[in-house]
Amino acid sequence: MVTVTDTAPIAGQNDEREQKSMNRETYETYSAAEPEKIDLIAFLAEYFQAFQKFFFGVLALVILAGGGSFLTAKLRYQPVYEAYTSFVVGSNRAVGYSYYDNVTAEQLGKTFPYLVTSGVLKDVVARDLGIGAVTSEIQASVMENTNLFTIRVRDASPETAYRVMKSVITNYPEVAEYIIGATTLTVVDESGVPAVPVNSQDALRAGTYGAAAGLAAAFLLLFLYVRTRKTIHWADDIKKLTNAAFLGNLPQAKIKKRSSVKEQTITICNPKVPDAFKEAVQLIRTRMEDRIIGKSDCPVLLVTSAVPGEGKTTVAVNLAEAFAKKKYRVVLLDGDLRNPSVMKCMGLIGRKERGIAAVLKGQMGLGGGTYRLRDLTLKILPGAGSTQNPAGLLRSVRMKTMIESLKEEADLLIIDTPPCGVLSDAALFGGIADGAVLVVHQGYAILVREEFSCLEFIMNRDTINWILK
């Protein structure tokens, strides 16, 4: 979307002085420090636009985070096998089973887990297996108020887990004898050599969690982007910077690629351009007509932007065509000698040596440098022609003479200037301008009050209007 600001003609009437005073008061009001308010609907709309803009970036972050987590879990996965055995522990001290249940079971229940996991038993097992140390995880549990015990051994090797478990069963009575006396173990259940790891490979789950984390990070980054980027998004953003009049919004116009270059142009003369775009141009033309037409014999209107790529040339071309359709005699001057683009924007092909530079250098007359469109009362003076000193040409006496000659042949002179926030060339047209249109690309340029003041080199703020694209 492009926002266009239009300019009212310069006049010296009392009512204009009153309007300037009112505008100044308005500007001071907007300049006052006010607490920033968050418009939830506007924020969500802006957030959605940012999501659309960086959709592939968000998708890439989600894929990278999910894929990275998946591969990490896949590569770091180590299977763990568990061998276990359940058994009943008996004591040679017990006199009858009833006595054992009442006395010995409680004692074994307290000592058994400690003994099984103690360093003493692990040393005995290590010597038994002929290894330096037992690295397997050994766990012991007891069923409350019984003499039923379970030993679980976990290791990366199923064979090692089983061997350690068997060695613990074999050597436990020897170690326990020093504490609770002679004991006997009666195996109730045994796992054998484990075939399936007890820890599942959760790479897929890790990938899902990673993708979710990547999506959350992307949403957070988009939030910070929207909240911190000081671009122009809404009409109120411009009002906080200037008192310039708001001309309207230009919607985005997309057309399919055609065989003809002219059919690809975004102009109101192209039947393939959406009607919404054409209606927006016509509305802006109507508002400008009330402001500048008839205020002088041939008003001079500048069309500029803060930075390149905001659509100023598209706006200048469409305004020229819109006024020409109303039978106004219009001259469109491509004043951007460094990057002329009017002819390209209109889908026209001209000779490189033909244009404003050649006219200002005296290489050809004004008539030879201009192009006429048959179907419209529109003349074009392109910015073609090589030059190494565009600013010098724009300051020349020939430039002033050329402008006066063009004004004699037209009802409206529109000049597509270079970006006023980048080059000083636009300021050179300020002395001849009756108004200026500032084109602002929504969410594109960072425009602060200090940067907007560059338009003062063109003309007074009271003569500046703007369009949001």
Q: Which residue has the higher pLDDT, 86 or 447?
A: 86
Chain centroid to Cα 241, Å, comes to: 25
Is residue 239 located within the same domain as residue 183? Answer: no
Residue type, 325: K
pLDDT over threshold 50, residue 316: yes
Identify which has the larger pLDDT, 26 or 191. Answer: 191
Asked whether residue 101 falls in the same domain as residue 6, the answer is: no
Question: CATH number for the domain including 284?
Answer: 3.40.50.300
- Of 80-89, 371-380, 419-428, the one with minimum mean pLDDT is 419-428
Domain boundary (190, 215, 243) is at: 190
Residue that is written with structure tokens 């142009």 in the block: 265
**Same-domain pairing of 89 and 184:** yes
Which residue segment(s) compose the domain that 332 sits in?
Answer: 2-34+231-468
- Identify the pLDDT of residue 399: 82
| 131: CATH | 3.30.70.1130
- Considering the chain, what is the average pLDDT of its residues? 76
**Are 124 and 22 in the same domain?**
no
29 inside domain: yes
| Residue 88: per-residue pLDDT | 79
Percent of the chain with pLDDT over 70: 70
DSSP state of 365: -
What percent of the chain is predicted at pLDDT more than 90?
14
- Please indicate, yes or no, whether residues 260 and 387 belong to a single structural domain of this protein: yes
* Residue 449, strand partner residues: none
| Confidence category of residue 42, pLDDT binned at 50, 70, 90 | low
Query: pLDDT, tens digit, for every residue of 323-370?
Result: 999 889 999 988 888 888 888 888 887 666 677 877 888 777 777 777
Can you give the pLDDT at residue 27?
35
Examine the pLDDT at 29 and tell me if it is beyond 50. no
- Residue-level pLDDT at 62: 94
Same domain, 6 and 110: no
Are residues 157 and 288 both part of a single domain?
no
Residue 215 falls within a domain, yes or no?
no
Q: Which of 132, 157, 190 is a domain's end point?
A: 190
Predicted local distance difference test score (pLDDT) of residue 120: 81
My answer on whether 415 and 267 are in the same domain is yes
Sheet bearing 148-155, strands edge to edge: 137-142, 148-155, 81-91, 183-190
Residue 274 in domain: yes
**Between β-strands 183-190 and 81-91, what pairing exists: parallel, antiparallel or unpaired?**
antiparallel
| 72 within some domain | no
Helical ranges in 199-311 per DSSP H: 203-228, 235-239, 275-292
Return d(Cα 320, Cα 93) in angstroms, integer.
Answer: 112
Q: Does position 228 have pLDDT exceeding 50, yes or no? A: yes
Per the structure block, which two tokens stand in for 401?
A: 């003479």
Whole-number Å distance between alpha carbons of 454 and 423: 10
Q: Is 50 exceeded by the pLDDT of residue 116?
A: yes
Beta-carbon contacts of residue 216 (< 8 Å; ≥ 6 apart): none
Is 3 a residue whose pLDDT tops 70?
no
> What was the pLDDT predicted at 99?
43
State whether 333 and 382 are in the same domain. yes
Cα-Cα-Cα-Cα torsion 356, 340, 435, 252, nearest 10 degrees, comes to: 150
Lowest mean pLDDT among 9-13, 129-133, 250-254, 266-270: 9-13
Token pair, residue 151, equals 């030993």
287 and 389 together in one domain: yes
The predicted structure's pLDDT at residue 6:
45
Domain for residue 300, yes or no? Answer: yes
Instruction: Look at residues 166, 190, 214 and tell me which one is the last residue of a structural domain.
Output: 190
The answer to the question of residue 275 being in a domain is yes
Read off the pLDDT of residues 362-404 as tens digits, 9 standing for 90 and up: 777 777 777 888 778 898 888 865 566 777 777 788 888 888 8
Which pLDDT band, with edges at 50, 70 and 90, does 18 fall under? very low
pLDDT computed for residue 438 by the predictor = 83
pLDDT level of residue 448 (50, 70, 90 thresholds): low
In the predicted model, what is the mean pLDDT of residues 144-168? 86
Number of domains forming the structure of the chain: 2
Q: What is the pLDDT of residue 105?
A: 55
Query: Do 308 and 381 belong to one domain?
Result: yes
Instruction: Please tell me which residue, 158 or 15, carries the higher pLDDT value.
Output: 158
Say which DSSP state 310 is in.
S
3-state secondary structure 93-131: CCCCHHHHHHHHHHHHHHHHHHHHHCHHHHHHHHHHHCC
Please indicate, yes or no, if residue 291 is contained in any of the structural domains. yes
370 and 426 co-located in one domain: yes
**262-314 confidence digits (pLDDT tens):** 667 888 888 888 888 899 899 989 888 877 776 678 888 888 887 788 888 99
- The reply to whether 400 falls in a domain is yes
Task: Encode burial over 213-228: b for 16+ CB neighbours within 10 A, e otherwise.
Answer: ebbeebeeebeeebee
The whole-model pTM stands at 0.57
